[in-house]
Structure 1
Amino acid sequence: MIKKLYPLSNVVLPPPNFLHYKGLFYWHHKDLGNLEQGDVYQFNTWMNLFGAKKWYAYCDLGEIYLRLNITGAYQLQIMGTNQNHAFGTSLDSILLDTYIDTDSEQVSIPDAKNYDGIWFTIYKKSTEPFAINSIQWCTDKTPGTENKLAIVSCTFKREEYILNNIGKFENFLTENEALRDKIHLFVIDNGRTLDAGKRYAHTDILPNMNAGGAGGFTRGMMEAVKSNAGYTRILLMDDDIDVLPESYFRTLIVSNYLREEYRDAFISGAMMEMVSKHWLFEALAFQKGDWVKGVYSGMDVLRLENILKINTVQDKLFSEKKVFSGWWYNCFPVSFIHEKGLPLPFFIRCDDVEWGWRHQGKHHIALNGICVWHEPFMWKVPPLTDRYYHHRNVFIVWSIYIDDFKNTYKKFLTDVFYFLLKTYNYNDIDLLFRALDDVLAGPQMLKQNPELLHKELQSMVKKPEYFDAEIREIEYAKTYYPPRKKRKIVFKLTRHGKYCPQFLWEKESNALEWYPPMDNFMLVKTVKVYNLLTGKYCIRKYDRKRMIVFEKEFKARMKQIKARFDDLKKEYTKAHKELTSFEFWEKYLELNHE
């Protein structure tokens, strides 16, 4: 008897741009153990393993089934896998081993909930016709709710990326009629370069002032709420990404099956690296000191043990830590907006951190296969983001949410300042000082026109002159040579070289641009700083006079912050409700002028 089943996820085969990364989807090799050679396809992979324990922990499921539509005869083996924490590997158990010669089959999987992951292997003879038409992980239980998903993608002059994602999204819904009234895409065009008049069946393009990612995402949230179209969940998604539409499907299905106690959970997509597609950059993060640390980060997901790690259920994490999910792919209930308002007007950086901490205690669900491939951050983050917006917004968020920040902010800011000073990055010090000045200005500063402020800040950015580098130079700069102990002692005794005799200084050295070691600048007059992404270098020079002036100005600002810290904390906390209201955002984005 054919049982009525409800799909939880589709087994995905690699699209053309993933052909060099088939291991994310399946493993293929020849079976040499039989007299007649055959092909073996293993689906214990990032995209296609089913993280059973985690699904059952968060979702109200029935029995799990594998539904197969395959042309040709084959041997099917279903495996259950658990983590072996003692040796960092996995323990596999055969759950089912059967021969199938029908095109359509549905197979019940016994005791699926007992395994971190379940997966399957297909054995088939090389000489026989064979084609995978579709395979799905299913359950025999109907979903507890039916959600409607508003996807919000904010873009700024990245037409190639966003138009590609729109095209894939439209094709996905064309091929999946049942989902057409369940998912809609709002593209917020901060650069106002897209054709807003072009009509799509399932996508709206909305021109917006350049209020940064925070402003673009907020505009999308507002449009979803104001549409009165019955959206129950918002999915925020970056523009400079590659995403498989299967992630949308799984996000919707997970939200439909969530247990009552987890109906308000975040569903978080992992960020994978665009260049090395098998490398997981981050999935979930928690507060650690004066920044955040990935719960799962720096992982090769071609390794089965790493796929199982991300499917670990960590109940205590969300009650004991301040956790957030990056807005490169982050889904949450619309009710969050009604209950606690819209995001803060941060333009960029820390908007997602604050949003997660505002909803502290809610669970963040990360599952293998729900992800985006993102452009790498390294070497590409502009100084304005890294020095102004980052430090301004970190100070505000930490002062509101971290009780002990009054005792740690001084070290945080001092470490940043002296890193810039000791690496001769004098241009960025000006941006850091502007961030501190704006912090001291209080929450009224956040009400400024974001486009005008951003243009003013851009005028402060002093771009150094870059020169073409030879390969041998770049390779040499990549090698770290620690300074001798005597040199460190001299550097310290002379107050960072300020009072060091000229004859003890070296003429020239090399360093990498992305957070270079301070040691490479120690008592060196001129340093060539190399950018590995562009293959170019700029020159930084020690300037004793500027160093003295900067130290004096930094100490003056720190003195002001110390005197006003308690008042600033109160002011930012008090202003939070106004700055996250619909009324504020309508004026801030000048929507009443449209």
Structure 2
Amino acid sequence: MSTHPFPNSQRIASFREADRPAGAVNGRGPAGSAREVTLQRVLLDRPVPLRPLYWTLAALSPLAPCPPAPEPGPVLRIPAGAVLGFDTYFNAFFEGNWRARTALGTLFLRLDVSGACTLRVTRRTAMGETLLLERRLEGGPVRVPIPDGAINFRQHGLIAFSIGTHEGPVEVRGGAWVTEATPRPVGLAAVFCTFNREKDIAAVLAALTSDEAVLSRLARIHVVNQGRPGLAEHPAIAPIMARHAAKLRIIEQANFGGAGGFGRGILAAIDDPAATHAVLLDDDIRIEPDSMLRMAAFFGLATDETPLGGHMLDMVQPMRVYEAGAVIRDANWSFHPQHHGLDVSDPGNLTALVDPRAIHFNGWWCLGFPLSLVERLGMPLPVFIRGDDVEFGLRLYGAGVPAVAMPGVGVWHEPFYLKLGSWQLYYETRNMLVAAALHLGTAPRGIAVRMARALLLHLLTFRYYSAALILRAIADFLRGPEILDSAPAALHASLNAIRERYPAESVPRGVVLPDHEPLSPPPHRLAWLTRLVRALAESTLRPTNPGAPPRRLEMAAFGWTRLGRMDCLALETWWDKDLPVLRRSRESFRALIGEAIPLLRRLLREGPAVGARWREAFPRHRSVPFWRDYLGMPPAEPTAEERAAFAARTGLGAASLGTAAE
């Protein structure tokens, strides 16, 4: 039986010269027959708490009081003497990635207004602000061309508009940023992986399916359920399934982690004749539905295989960007999330988003890419959770197709600072060791030093469970790539056994605790070394005081250099309901150090050979046939037409069909 990995490969959009949008000139500007393409809609009806991300209201005169805000809805009624501004995160048009990565032609602003008003359109670059035009409107639908005329990409920027009212109120009925083009067909397959979050996934499905324009751009929605069975019958899901049975597909499988869930969804998209692109989305997000429409428009005009990432907005602080893609510094594997903490409710801060930043990867809270990339570069790795997006991003980056993170394409997600000290640290550490072996080319000594520092950081702050997870991750990395061949359930269960050895402790937030006065940071290197020797001696020699009461320490001062002589601390994180308690244990410190020293020696000595084994197994673990077998799926049997299309496209004989992508 054939094991052809891409049964619908002739339907997967490619980006060869012949596949550019019809009439495109050098892949840039459309020529000949074209139609109006909506790039992004002007959004008017979003919730009041999020209003600064969509539109602002001010008085026309700086001396006049601000008029009352209109009620949000499909039509906004602007009172006389007001300015409705769309210089906002979700309604401005950030043209940098569009100009660089797509066949974007002339840009137009389409508006439908009633009543006399003044339209003001501006382009703001990283160098300053330039007025484009000011135009008097008398009402009705209008389409305003936005002149380009740029002689250098630095002249592209953020394009926004405002509507000023004078004699009387004006109604804004809708609008969009549009262009004239002939886009390639795009079928987005939205892929969700979910685990016991029925209400969360129901909410995001409702958001996507309730918007007809968005739903029309989705070829399919694949929800891979790895938690409680019977998701389709859940009271919150069943009505959505009944209304959208043709679009929505729920796949039940055992728990293979986020990597296994997304992998199963990618395979479903590959098998779907209507799908050309996959969009990976977390189940616990709140999504701006227009993100899907914008991604579909981008892919329809794209001149290459660029993956497109959405920004992650902080669900706890919803006006702030948590991450807009990330960069990894090779020297110490430090992650640098781009635009972290940027307040995007302030229009003045949006200038920071004008220049597209290069990134190594974009997280899978929202990442879209052509399925042709999977055909060419393989599937993600089956690493259960954490790091699959990093490895996949580094792989694409190394192949010359780095992802871009697009302002105005975004989801709200639980920020990672809410998940400190969890079992996920095991996967983060092991999978980063794998990614380093495959892509980063880090020297063995650098890897060992990096792991030693991570261990000391956790041991000297009494986080023995975390240190034990790091040690287990190093040991499993040294076992080699065979660890990925087996179902992950037994491994995951063994991590719970480690937790039992180091039980968590907390204290209610309402308890009044004495404060710990942290030491000042060491002023120079000699002081830092002296403090390190003292901390090691304290942890190794001073007996444990099991009855020591906790003292409260602010998170900002949490670091081993600032603890001093301390036995028990309650960490004041502003996000935890109860304060986590960390208790010093001489016995745990000695046991873990005794385990760490020989393991780090092994990592230094055996690391290069183990890394070579990971690289040797890499093509197999990223292949579609491996993934089908790993998940217990039957191999896909290609049709005669698919065999012929494969042979025509690749120049290989039909007999090669089963092994070409392996």
User: Which of the five TM-score ranges fits, normalised by the shorter chain?
Assistant: 0.7 to 0.9
Within a 5 Å distance, the mapping from 1:206-285 to structure 2 comes to 206-227=251-272, 229-259=273-303, 263-285=304-326
Which runs of 5 or more structure 2 residues have no equivalent in the other structure? 1-33, 65-78, 636-662
Using the TM superposition, give the Cα deviation of residue 481 of structure 1 relative to its aligned residue in structure 2, in angstroms.
4.5
- Asked whether the equivalents of residues 196 and 206 of structure 1 are also in contact (C-alpha less than 8 Å), the reply is no
2:61 is equivalent to residue 32 of structure 1: yes
What is the aligned counterpart of 2:216 among 156, 165, 180? 180
1:530/1:536 contact within 8 Å kept: no
Partners of 1:217 and 1:502 lie apart in 2 by 48
Which has the larger displacement, 304-313 or 134-143? 304-313
CA distance 1:281–1:461, change in 2 (3 Å): same
Task: Go from structure 1 to structure 2 and tell me whether the alpha carbon gap of 1:499 and 1:338 turns closer, same or farther (over 3 Å shift).
Answer: closer
1:181/1:108 Cα in 2 relative to 1: closer, same or farther (>3 Å)? closer
Aligned to 2:463: 425
Equivalenced residue count is 566
CA deviation after TM superposition for structure 1 residue 461, in Å: 1.4
User: Residues of 2 paired with 1:408 and 1:471: CA distance?
Assistant: 44
Superposition pairs of residues 116-127 of structure 1, within 5 angstroms: 116-125=157-166, 127=168
Map of 1:136 onto structure 2: 176
Q: SS of the counterpart of 1:297?
A: coil
Query: Counterpart of 1:168 in structure 2: which amino acid?
Result: A
Letter paired with 1:249? L
**Residue type of the partner of 1:590?**
G
Cα gap change, 1:285/1:122 in structure 2, threshold over 3 Å: closer, same or farther? same
| Partner in structure 2 of residue 203 of structure 1 | 248
**1:131 to 1:494, Cα distance in 2 relative to 1, 3 A:** closer
For the 8 Å contact 1:379–1:531, the answer to whether it is kept is no
Q: 1:456 aligns with which of 490, 494, 501?
A: 494
Q: Which amino acid aligns with 2:172?
A: I
- After superposition, the Cα gap between the structure-2 partners of 1:406 and 1:501, relative to the gap in structure 1 and judged at 3 Å, is closer
CA deviation profile, 1:417-465 (whole Å, cap 9, x unmatched): 1112111122222222221221121111122211232122223213323
2:334 maps to a residue whose letter is W
Q: Pick from 452, 456, 468: which aligns with 2:508?
A: 468
Summarize the Cα distance change of 1:357–1:512 in structure 2 as closer, same or farther, 3 Å threshold: same
Q: Give SS of 2:296's match.
A: helix
Moved more, 522-531 or 435-444: 522-531
C-alpha separation in 2, matches of 1:591 and 1:346: 18
- Once the two structures are TM-superposed, the CA of residue 499 in structure 1 deviates from its matched residue by 6.6
Give the AA of the match of 1:31.
L
**Which of residues 557, 569, 582 is equivalent to 1:527?**
569
Shift of the 170–491 alpha-carbon distance from structure 1 to 2, 3 Å rule, reads closer
User: CA offset at residue 30 of structure 1?
Assistant: 1.6
SS at structure 1 position matched to 2:364: coil
> CA offset at residue 404 of structure 1?
2.5
- The letter of the residue matching 2:177 is W
CA spacing shift, 1:56–1:531, aligned 2, 3 Å: closer
In the other structure, the counterpart of 1:444 is: 482
Cα separation, 2, equivalents of 1:166 and 1:502:
55
Deviation digits for residues 272-305 of structure 1 (CA, Å, limit 9, x no counterpart): 1112111011112122122321233221112335
| CA distance in structure 2 between the partners assigned to 1:391 and 1:77 by the alignment | 51
* 1:317-344 C-alpha deviation (Å, 9 max, x unpaired): 47xxxx1111111111101111122111
Instruction: Name the counterpart of 1:101.
Output: 138
> 1:302 and 1:444, CA in 2 relative to 1: closer, same or farther beyond 3 A?
same
Identify if the C-alpha distance between structure 1 residues 69 and 552 changes in structure 2 by more than 3 Å, giving closer, same or farther: same
- 1:21 paired to 2:17: no
Residue 313 of structure 2 aligns to a residue in which SS? Answer: strand
Cα gap change, 1:168 to 1:484, in 2 (>3 Å): closer
TM-score, with normalisation over the residues of structure 1?
0.88
Query: Can you list the C-alpha shifts for 1:160-186, whole angstroms capped at 9, x where unaligned?
Result: 21101111211123x56xx63653211
Match of 2:147 in 1: 110
Counterpart position of 2:185: 146
Q: 1:134 to 1:472 in 2, by over 3 A?
A: farther
2:39 alignment partner, one of 1, 8, 24:
8
Deviations 1:374-429 (A, max 9, x none): 1121132452102x111111111101212234231111111111112111122222
Q: CA deviation at 1:352?
A: 0.5
CA distance in 2, matches of 1:512, 1:445: 40
Aligned to 2:226: 190
Cα distance in 2 for partners of 1:284, 1:575 equals 28
- The one-letter code sitting in structure 2 at the alignment partner of 1:102 is G
Does residue 408 in structure 1 map to residue 446 in structure 2? Answer: yes
Cα distance, 1:134 vs. partner? Answer: 1.1
1:555 is matched by which residue type in structure 2?
I
- Give the Cα–Cα distance (whole angstroms) in 1 for the partners of residues 582 and 402 of structure 2: 46
Q: 1:250 to 1:483 in 2, by over 3 A?
A: closer
Conserved? CA contact 1:83–1:305, under 8 Å: no
Structure 1 range deviating more: 200-209 or 411-420: 200-209
Amino acid paired to 1:153: F
- TM-score, normalising length: structure 2: 0.79
Q: Secondary structure at the match of 1:216?
A: helix
Are the counterparts in 1 of residues 191 and 266 from structure 2 also a CA contact under 8 Å?
Answer: yes
Find the counterpart in structure 2 of residue 69 from structure 1. Answer: 112
Is 1:312 the equivalent of 2:355? Answer: yes
Q: Check whether the contact 1:112–1:118 (CA below 8 A) recurs between aligned residues.
A: no
1:155 shift after superposition: 1.0
Point out where structure 1 has 5 or more consecutive residues left out of the alignment: 85-90
- Taking a change above 3 Å as real, the CA distance of residues 367 and 112 of structure 1, as seen in their structure-2 partners, is farther
What is the CA distance between 1:14 and its match in structure 2?
4.6
SS in structure 1 at match of 2:367: strand
Q: State the one-letter code of the partner of 1:205.
A: I
CA drift of 1:470 comes to 3.0
Shift of 1:349: 1.1
Query: Among the aligned pairs, what percent are the same residue?
Result: 25
Among 327, 341, 344, which residue is 1:301 paired with?
Answer: 344
Residue 364 of structure 1 corresponds to which residue in structure 2?
403
Tell me how far apart the structure 1 counterparts of residues 414 and 581 of structure 2 sit (CA, whole Å). Answer: 27
CA spacing shift, 1:249–1:37, aligned 2, 3 Å: closer
CA contact (8 A) 1:80 1:112 kept: no
